[in-house]
């Protein structure tokens, strides 16, 4: 597709359940980022993938959060045993090379609500 897509657009789950959020980056982009946007706050960096390199997981808030990127394209963010504080909008972005000068292109986000 022409832009970054994310699915689902909305996810409501019960506390303690696992959820998977999907991101399809722009074709050919080697860098992929996950961010969390909580109400009234800025974007919190979660994880960064660059090509075949080991991901930068320094932003993951707990070991309940994990992500993978298969074949250098699609990425899945998994949250295990969800908690109410996990409720937020999860944004995915991609950039062409991951260089600090690159523009990041964002998807529309997945709004996660944990009841």
Partner 1 sequence: AQSVTQLGSHVSVSEGALVLLRCNYSSSVPPYLFWYVQYPNQGLQLLLKYLSGSTLVKGINGFEAEFKKSETSFHLTKPSAHMSDAAEYFCAVSEDNDMRFGAGTRLTVKP
Which residue lies nearer to partner 1 by CB, 23 or 79?
23
Of 19, 27, 22, the C-alpha closest to 92 is: 22
Q: How far is the CB of 60 from partner 1 (least distance, A)?
A: 14
Interaction site with partner 1 (CB under 8 A): 4, 31, 33, 35, 40-43, 45, 48, 50, 56, 91, 93, 98, 100-101, 103-109
CA atoms within a 13 Å half-sphere pointing along the CA-CB vector of 57: 13
Q: How far is the CB of 100 from partner 1 (least distance, A)?
A: 4
Helix, strand or coil, per DSSP, at residue 101: coil
Q: Which two tokens stand for residue 24?
A: 């399809």
Which residue lies nearer to partner 1 by CB, 5 or 80?
5
Which residue lies nearer to partner 1 by CB, 92 or 114?
92
Which residue lies nearer to partner 1 by CB, 37 or 80?
37
* DSSP states of 34-91: EEEE-TTS-EEEEEEEETTSPPB-TT--STTEEEEEGGGS-EEEEE-S--GGG-EEEE
Residue identified by tokens 């999860």 is 90
Q: How far is the CB of 113 from partner 1 (least distance, A)?
A: 14
Q: How far is the CB of 88 from partner 1 (least distance, A)?
A: 14
């Amino acid at each position: 597709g022409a832009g970054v897509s994310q699915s689902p657009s909305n996810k409501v789950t019960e506390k303690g359940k696992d959820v998977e959020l999907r991101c399809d980056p722009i074709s050919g982009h080697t860098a992929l980022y996950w961010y969390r946007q909580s109400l009234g706050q800025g974007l919190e960096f979660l994880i960064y993938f660059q090509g075949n390199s080991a991901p930068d997981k320094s932003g993951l808030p707990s070991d309940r959060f994990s992500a993978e990127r298969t074949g250098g394209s699609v990425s899945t963010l998994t949250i295990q045993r969800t908690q109410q504080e996990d409720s937020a909008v999860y944004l995915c972005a991609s950039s062409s090379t991951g260089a600090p000068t690159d523009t990041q292109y964002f998807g529309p986000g997945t709004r996660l609500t944990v009841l």
